[in-house]
């Protein structure tokens, strides 16, 4: 495959799509699929055929359009219209309005902050291309970066470009991507591996799933570029088995890319070969930790090991291994196509580019968003998210999943970047963002995340195995209105112990929701303990015992 051959495929696909006067895109990602997106697509396709407009209307299933709370979503590219909550029965109205420009279901406006305030790099193709057709991806500049890298750049030049871009790992800690690539590249000529961590286990998070469902070739291209840069010939995508649609699209994408010579042996006629296999995870949250993930790929029990050595030096089968998550790899091709300086111009001084978030909880517009680093939490919640429904006030925003913190409303003007979130006790994490209003009990929230960490602990180290159980037990006593000040003191002591002595990030991060709720909502803990009940009215045990104490 040469640049010229790639260009011909792209032009042929664009010309084929230009023959249609109308392009109707129907979201069939998991969110819309769960509410009948596939039935809507089939109904529109049937209506197009029966109305004799088959040569005029192209109907295609596409990936996530973002506004998941309003699905199934349908967009008509020719006139810029979008329809929300579409049912199969509305197919005749949509098709009938294509020629007349009138009628059709109620429109979903696109000139609103939810769409206008976003900046899409990772999601630039989501909702636009058919994820099961490589030609559609190529028509949108797909694989141009890979072919260009192999033909025009040395591996060292690729690593340098990623370093200059300032891209940091989007999986949690924000480690500089280029530095990690450089470490693997310097290990010499030996067997090496590239691994994509798609083991997305945070409650309320669906960023990686949506990217894999919507634009799988984007991730494959990023992995191939990384393999070329570090000298690897074998790659693995470790993805949750609970993501059947993502797995299906990945399998199709790998098969198509191999058929066109963009994966496999002697890619683009060069001496570079790269093969990708899929490994399915059984849903263990701890396998999101890279050493546990490696153990799982090797067929062992998914438990972490002490570091060093780090996977970049000794990872999969004791070989140098580059591990990045889905979103990190999805940023690579745009950086190569547009240049490191372009990417570095977006975001803040230390947090470059954009970040994809799964916006969930008590907010009007829930769904998948991509925003430039440095945007404030208030802008995300009030403008993009549309504010809190039912006239309630925002109480807190939880970022970073079970290892992240609960940020109170007074910090809503905080920039969303790695340093700022860390400064208030939270973290970026993989991109979960849960909004809570005044009906949320922050003690109950802390108990929920502790229960999650307790049940997901692999049990290898005592601090995490026993500590999370003890902390959950104390939180249970507090929400039942049965705890004493001594229990609260013990809880704080346990937080410090578990954070500083656990083996991996699961245990080290488990106390964070407790610590941040203690720091920012201490009065709620005191109310439960002192017999005044649960201020939010959530913890019935505390309310019942509070009433008895008052009597």
Please compute, for residue 457, the number of CA atoms within 13 A of its CA located in the half-sphere on the CB side: 26
Q: Measured between alpha carbons, how far is 477 from 481 in angstroms, rounded to an integer?
A: 6
Helices (H) and strands (E) in the chain, counts: 24, 13
Looking at the DSSP bridge assignments, the partners of residue 325 are 197
Last residue of a domain, one of 68, 86, 110: 110
CATH code of the domain containing 326: 3.40.50.11540
Which segment of 98-102, 156-160, 214-218, 331-335 scores lowest on mean pLDDT?
98-102
At 78, is the pLDDT very low, low, confident or very high (cuts 50, 70, 90)?
Answer: confident
Of 437, 463, 485, the residue that ends a domain is 437
pLDDT in tens, 423-472: 999 999 888 899 999 999 999 999 999 999 999 999 999 999 999 999 99
Res. 324: pLDDT tops 70: yes
The tens digit of pLDDT for each residue in 278-309 reads 999 998 999 999 999 999 999 999 999 999 99
Q: What is the mean pLDDT of residues 315-343?
A: 97
Give the pLDDT confidence score for residue 173 in this predicted structure.
79
Assign 547 a pLDDT band (cuts: 50, 70, 90). Answer: low
Residues 381 and 420 in one domain: yes
pLDDT of 89: 95
Task: Calculate what percentage of the chain has a pLDDT beyond 70.
Answer: 98
pLDDT > 50? residue 207: yes
| 264 plus 366 within the same structural domain | no
Q: How far apart are CA 459 and CA 475, in angstroms?
A: 20
Would 418 be classed as within a structural domain? yes
Tell me if 10 is assigned to some domain: no
Residue 151, number of CB atoms within 10 A of its CB: 13
Confidence band for 337, pLDDT divided at 50, 70 and 90: very high
Cα 224–230–233 angle (5° rounding)?
Answer: 55
| Cβ contacts of 311-317, under 8 Å, gap ≥ 24 | 312/180, 312/183, 312/184, 312/187, 313/183, 313/187, 315/193, 315/195, 315/290, 315/291, 316/193, 316/195, 316/236, 317/191, 317/193
**For residue 548, what pLDDT is reported?**
56
Of the pLDDT bands very low, low, confident and very high (cuts 50, 70, 90), residue 99 is confident
For residue 528, give the CATH number of its domain: 1.20.1440.230
Tokens of 526: 């005191």
21-39 average pLDDT score: 95
Q: Is the predicted pLDDT of residue 421 greater than 80, yes or no? A: yes
Q: What is the mean pLDDT of the chain?
A: 94
Res 550 pLDDT > 70: no
- Cα–Cα dist 509/353, whole Å: 25
Residues 189 and 333 in one domain: yes
Say how many C-beta atoms besides its own lie within 10 A of residue 119's C-beta. 17
User: Among 309, 344, 379, which residue terminates a domain?
Assistant: 344
Looking at residue 360, which CATH number applies to its domain? 3.10.20.600
Q: Is residue 204 part of a domain?
A: yes
Q: Can you give the pLDDT at residue 551? A: 47
What percentage of the chain reaches a pLDDT higher than 90? 89
pLDDT bin (cut points 50, 70, 90) of residue 203 is confident
Cα–Cα distance for residue pair 371/260, rounded to 1 Å: 34
pLDDT at 171: 84
396's enclosing H/E stretch is strand 394-399
Is residue 413 located within the same domain as residue 295? no
* 334 and 422 belong to one structural domain: no
Q: 525 pLDDT exceeds 60?
A: yes
Any bridge partners for residue 195, and if so which?
236, 323
> Which has the minimum average pLDDT: 205-219, 314-328, 537-551?
537-551
Same domain, 414 and 454: no
Which CATH number does the domain housing residue 69 bear?
A: 3.40.30.10
**Per-residue confidence (pLDDT) for residue 62, from 0 to 100:** 97
Q: How confident is the model over 479-502, as pLDDT tens digits? A: 999 999 999 999 999 999 999 999
- Residue written as token pair 């299933």: 61
pLDDT value for 101 = 66
Q: CB within 8 A of 119, min separation 6: which ones?
A: 346, 354, 370, 371, 372
From the list 69, 54, 12, the residue with the least C-alpha distance to 385 is: 69
- Asked if residue 361 and residue 458 are part of one domain, the reply reads no
The pLDDT assigned to 155 comes to: 97
| φ, ψ at 55 (rounded to 5°) | -85, -5
* Together in a domain, 180 and 302: yes
Q: In this structure, is residue 129 part of a structural domain? A: no
Q: Is the pLDDT of residue 230 over 90?
A: yes
Q: What is the pLDDT of residue 537?
A: 93
Which residue range(s) make up the domain with 460?
442-550
* Beta-strand pair 57-62/275-281: unpaired
The tokens of 550 are what? Answer: 């008052």
Q: Is 265 in the same domain as 387? A: no
Flag whether pLDDT at 549 surpasses 70: no
What's the pLDDT score for residue 103? 65
Statement to judge: residues 283 and 339 lie in one domain: yes
Q: Provide the 10 A C-beta neighbour count for residue 489.
A: 10
pLDDT score at 546: 57
Would residue 471 count as lying in a domain? yes
Q: Is residue 130 one of the residues assigned to a domain?
A: no
Q: Is residue 8 part of a domain?
A: no
Q: Which of 403, 384, 407, 405 is nearest to 394 (CA)?
A: 407
Query: For residue 507, what pLDDT band results from cuts at 50, 70 and 90?
Result: very high
- Structural domain total, the chain: 4
Q: Which helix (H) or strand (E) holds 58?
A: strand 57-62
**Confidence band (pLDDT; 50, 70, 90) for 543?**
confident
Is-contact 230 322, C-beta < 8 A? yes
My answer on whether 198 and 99 are in the same domain is no
Examine the pLDDT at 91 and tell me if it is beyond 70.
yes
- Strand partners for 27: 62
Between 551 and 434, residue with greater pLDDT: 434
Residues 396 and 475 in one domain: no
């Amino acid at each position: 495959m040469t640049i010229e051959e790639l260009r011909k495929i792209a032009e042929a696909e664009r010309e084929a799509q230009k023959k249609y006067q109308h392009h109707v895109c129907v979201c069939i990602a998991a969110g819309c699929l769960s509410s009948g997106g596939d039935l809507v697509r089939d109904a529109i396709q049937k209506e197009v055929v029966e109305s004799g407009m088959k040569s005029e209307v192209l109907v295609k299933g596409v990936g996530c359009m973002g506004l998941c709370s309003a699905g199934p979503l349908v967009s008509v590219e020719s006139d810029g219209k979008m329809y929300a909550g579409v049912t199969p029965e509305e197919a005749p109205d949509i098709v009938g309005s294509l020629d007349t420009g009138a009628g059709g279901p109620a429109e979903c406006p696109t000139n609103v902050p939810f769409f206008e305030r976003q900046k899409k790099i990772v999601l630039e193709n989501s909702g636009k291309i058919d994820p099961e057709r490589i030609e559609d991806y190529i028509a949108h500049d797909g694989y141009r970066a890979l072919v260009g890298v192999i033909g025009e750049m040395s591996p060292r030049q690729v690593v340098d470009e990623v370093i200059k871009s300032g891209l940091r790992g989007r999986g949690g800690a924000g480690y500089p991507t280029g530095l990690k690539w450089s470490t693997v590249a310097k290990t010499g000529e030996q067997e090496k591996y590239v691994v994509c961590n798609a083991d997305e286990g945070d409650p309320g998070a669906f960023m990686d799933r949506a990217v894999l469902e919507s634009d799988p070739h984007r991730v494959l291209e990023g992995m191939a570029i990384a393999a070329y840069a570090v000298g690897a010939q074998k790659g693995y995508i470790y993805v949750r088995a609970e993501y059947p649609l993502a797995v299906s699209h990945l399998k199709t994408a790998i098969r198509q890319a191999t058929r066109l010579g963009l994966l496999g042996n002697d890619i683009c006629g060069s001496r570079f070969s790269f093969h990708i296999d899929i490994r399915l995870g059984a849903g263990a949250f701890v396998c999101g930790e890279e050493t546990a993930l490696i153990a799982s790929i090797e067929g062992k029990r998914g438990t972490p090991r002490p570091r060093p050595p780090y996977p970049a030096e000794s990872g999969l089968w004791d070989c140098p291994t580059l591990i990045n998550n889905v979103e990190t790899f999805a940023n690579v091709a745009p950086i190569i196509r547009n240049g490191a300086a372009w990417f570095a111009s977006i975001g803040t001084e230390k947090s470059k580019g954009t970040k994809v978030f799964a916006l969930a909880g008590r907010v009007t517009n829930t769904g998948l968003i991509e925003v430039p680093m440095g945007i404030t939490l208030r802008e995300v919640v009030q403008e993009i998210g549309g504010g809190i429904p039912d006239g309630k006030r925002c109480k807190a925003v939880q970022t970073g999943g079970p290892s992240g913190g609960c940020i109170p409303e007074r910090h809503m003007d905080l920039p969303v970047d790695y340093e700022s979130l860390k400064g208030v006790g939270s973290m970026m994490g993989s991109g979960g963002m849960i909004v809570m209003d005044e009906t949320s009990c922050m003690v109950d929230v802390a108990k929920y995340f502790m229960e999650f960490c307790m049940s997901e602990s692999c049990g290898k180290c005592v601090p995490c195995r026993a500590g999370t159980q003890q902390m959950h037990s104390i939180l249970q006593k507090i929400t039942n209105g049965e705890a004493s000040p001594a229990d609260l003191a013990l809880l704080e002591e346990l937080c410090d112990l578990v954070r500083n002595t656990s083996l991996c990030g699961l245990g080290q991060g488990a106390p964070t929701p407790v610590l941040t709720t203690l720091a920012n909502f201490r009065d709620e803990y005191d109310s439960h303990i002192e017999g005044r009940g649960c201020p939010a009215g959530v913890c019935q045990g505390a309310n019942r015992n509070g009433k008895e104490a008052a009597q």
